Amino acid sequence: MTFLLLVVAGVGAGLTGTIAGLASLASYPALLAVGLPPLAANVTNSVALLANTVGAVSGSRPELKGHWKRALELAGVSLLGGALGGVLLLWTPSDAFEKIVPFLIGGASIAILIRRPGEVQALESRPAWPTLVSIFLIGIYGGYFGAAAGVLMLAVLLAIGTGTLARAGAYRNVVLGAANGVAAIGFALFGPVVWSAALPLAIGCFVGARIGPIVVRHAPSDALRVVIALAGLGLAAWLAYDAFYL
**Chain segment 72-84, per-residue pLDDT in tens:** 999 999 999 999 9
The number of angstroms, rounded, from the C-alpha of 82 to the middle of its chain's C-alpha atoms is: 12
User: Which candidate, 171, 183, 172, 190, places its Cα nearest to that of 79?
Assistant: 183
91 by Cβ neighbours in 10 Å (0-12 / 13-18 / 19+) ranks as: exposed
pLDDT at 119: 47
pLDDT at 173 over 70: yes
47 pLDDT more than 90: yes
User: What is the tens place of the pLDDT at every residue in 21-38?
Assistant: 778 778 988 999 999 998
What's the mean per-residue pLDDT of the chain?
Answer: 85
- What whole-number distance in Å separates Cα of residue 150 and Cα of residue 133? 16
Is the predicted pLDDT of residue 118 greater than 50, yes or no? no
- Write down the pLDDT at residue 116: 57
Confidence class for position 143, pLDDT limits 50, 70, 90: confident
Higher pLDDT, 214 or 128: 214
pLDDT at 145 over 70: yes
Are 54 and 207 spatial neighbours (Cβ–Cβ below 8 Å)?
no
Res. 155 pLDDT band, cuts 50 70 90: confident
150 closest CA partner among 29, 43, 13: 13
Give the HSE-up count for residue 76: Cα atoms under 13 Å, Cβ half-sphere.
Answer: 6
Q: How far apart are CA 152 and CA 44, in angstroms?
A: 22
pLDDT for residue 64: 93
Residue 90 pLDDT grade (very low, low, confident, very high; cuts 50, 70, 90): confident
Closest-CA residue to 169 (of 7, 9, 23, 12): 23
